[in-house]
Amino acid sequence: MEPALQEALLPKYIAIEGPIGVGKTTLAHKIAETFNYDVFLEQPTENPFLKSFYRNPKQSALATQLFFLFQRMQQIEDLKQRSLFEPVRVADFLIQKDRLFAEVTLSDEEMGLYDKVYEHLTLDAPSPDLVIYLQAPVEVLLDRINKRGNPDEKFLTVDYLERLNDAYSKFFLYFENAPLLIINASDIDLESGLINIRPNSARRLKNKTSERVLPLVGYAKQALEQNLTQADDEWLFPQYIKSGHCYATHASNAVNKWLKKDFGGFTAHSLRHTFRDRLRAVECPMDMIDQIGGWKSITSIGNSYGRGFTMDQHRQYLQKIMIT
């Protein structure tokens, strides 16, 4: 495909949305790095009322929300001014999210005042060419919030995050202002570079050992990050999803056809054999190889004892065999 055509297919302005801790900023940085986009990020540390809001939401909610509204509108104005010189950009916020947060945190009286300000300021806000909405359950959000270690965010409650999640779901249920891509971010942690392989509504796994968490490295990580921006469905490969069921054999057949034509009769299953051989060649422990590949270990019953290997140890060996 010609480079000019590839650029034409990419959205010029992407907005990423989702609740606190879901991975908006991380994905924005990844998109910016992959496609050389200019990045516009929220600046929560500049809000002088935010610390007080985390500790006492009712007391500081209105001041906190109005500061964010003014800040985001200033960023939108900057974006419009710079559009002639930087034609592609990605933001980790959508201006409409400000009112969404306000509805969760403000009283009825405060909401009336907020609405008057909001309607005046947002009249000329540009619409993105693509909105990416990242979803994750509250337990995943709390885990990621705790991992990033912001001391002020420790005051966030389960109730607040549940109400925020519910508000996001309702907002995007009727969203029609721009093309919308909804992604379940529960199984992909771009901040830590991890993917969670587990059963879902479309496909079960072969056995318990198939369920695992793995680091993403090399081309696998790059391909996933790129597909997240170009997918037009909740599934990364929607062509293999029919009536809510994943037809994995169709994907294998497509890979097999390509491999047999250009690589002397190899099949998709050959990749798993090669993968195991490459890990052996770098002296990866056998029980770690079994864990990474989702194979049931036959080497020793003792392999099931203890905590096993860390993600950093998995990543170390995967990086040794990745193709650069």
Can you list the domains of the chain with their CATH numbers? 3-192 (3.40.50.300), 196-321 (no CATH)
The predicted pLDDT at position 159 comes to 94
The predicted pLDDT at position 250 comes to 74
- Cα 93 from Cα 191, distance rounded (Å): 17
Contacts of 175 (CB under 8 A, 6+ apart): 131
Per-residue pLDDT of the chain (324 residues), as tens digits, is 444 434 446 788 899 999 999 999 988 988 888 888 888 888 999 999 999 999 999 899 999 999 999 998 888 887 777 665 556 788 898 888 899 999 999 999 999 999 999 888 765 777 888 999 999 999 999 988 988 888 889 899 999 999 999 999 999 988 988 889 888 888 777 777 788 787 877 777 777 778 888 888 888 877 777 776 666 666 777 777 887 788 777 777 877 887 777 777 788 778 888 889 999 999 999 888 888 888 876 555 555 566 678 888 888 989 888 876
Beta-carbon count within 10 A of 181 CB: 19
Cβ neighbourhood burial of 13 (10 Å; 0-12, 13-18, 19+) = buried
Cβ neighbourhood burial of 119 (10 Å; 0-12, 13-18, 19+) = exposed
User: Which amino acid belongs to residue 33?
Assistant: E
- Cα 49 from Cα 65, distance rounded (Å): 9
Max intra-chain CA distance, the chain:
72
The predicted pLDDT at position 200 comes to 76
- Cα 39 from Cα 31, distance rounded (Å): 9
Assigned token pair, 178: 């721009």
The predicted pLDDT at position 133 comes to 93
Decide if 290 is catalytic: no
- Cα 190 from Cα 27, distance rounded (Å): 7
Q: CB of 234 within 8 A of CB of 182? A: yes
- Cα 164 from Cα 226, distance rounded (Å): 28
Look at strands 130-135 and 180-184 and give their pairing.
Answer: parallel
Catalytic-labelled residue, pool 38, 92, 98, 262: 92
Contacts of 280 (CB under 8 A, 6+ apart): 289
The predicted pLDDT at position 20 comes to 93
DSSP 89: E
Q: How far is CA 79 from the centre of its chain?
A: 23
DSSP 55: H
